[in-house]
Amino acid sequence: MPIHSPWRADFPGILALEAEGQTYLDSAATAQKPQQVLDALLGYYAQGAANVHRAQHLPGERATRAFEDTRAKVARWLNVPSAQQIVFTHGATEAFNLLAYGLEHLFQPGEQLVISALEHHANLLPWQQLALRRQLELVVLPLDADGLIDLQQAAQLIGPRCRLLAVSQLSNVLGSWQPLPELLALAKAQDALTVVDGAQGIVHGRHDLAALDCDFYVASSHKLYGADGVGLLCGRASALQQLRHWQFGGEMLRSAEYHSAAFSPAPLGFEAGTPPVSGVIALGAALDYLAGLDDARVIAHEAALHAHLLAGLRARDGIRVLGAPDVALVSFVVEGVHHADLAHLLSEQGIAVRAGHHCAMPLMKGLGLPGAIRASLGLYNDASDLARFFDALDKALELLR
**Interface contacts to ligand PLP, rule CB under 6 A:** 91-93, 120, 122-123, 168, 172, 197, 199-200, 220, 231, 359
- Picking from 288, 291, 280, the residue whose alpha carbon sits closest to that of residue 64 is 280
Catalytic residue among 162, 214, 234, 359: 359
Q: Min. distance of Cβ 96 from ligand PLP in angstroms?
A: 7
* CB-nearer residue toward ligand PLP: 85 or 168: 168
Q: How far is the CB of 89 from ligand PLP (least distance, A)?
A: 9
Look up residue 225 and give its DSSP letter: T
Q: Which is nearer to ligand PLP, 339 or 388 (CB)?
A: 339
Output phi, psi for 104, to 5 deg. -50, -40
Residue nearer to ligand PLP on the CB measure, 64 or 247 = 247
Q: Does residue 359 carry a catalytic annotation?
A: yes
Q: Is the Cβ of residue 172 or residue 194 nearer to ligand PLP in the bound state?
A: 172
| DSSP notation for 321-390 | E-S--SSSEEEEEETTB-HHHHHHHHHHTTEE-EEE-TT-HHHHHHTT-S-EEEEE--TT--HHHHHHHH
As separate numbers, helices (DSSP H) first and strands (DSSP E) second, the chain gives 14, 15
Minimum separation from the CB atom of position 221 to ligand PLP (A): 8
Q: Which residues pair with 23 in a beta bridge?
A: 351
Q: Which of 193, 203, 197 is nearest to 125 (CA)?
A: 197
Q: How far is the CA of 54 from the CAs of 58, 64, 83, 142, in angstroms?
A: 11, 9, 19, 48
Q: Which is nearer to ligand PLP, 231 or 284 (CB)?
A: 231
Shortest Å distance, C-beta 161 to ligand PLP: 26
Number of other CB atoms surrounding residue 322 within 10 Å = 23
Q: Give dist(CA 99, CA 126) in Å, integer.
A: 8
Q: How far is the CB of 100 from ligand PLP (least distance, A)?
A: 13
What are the b/e assignments for 27-39, b being 16+ CB within 10 Å?
A: bbebbbbbebbbe
Q: Which residues are catalytic?
A: 359
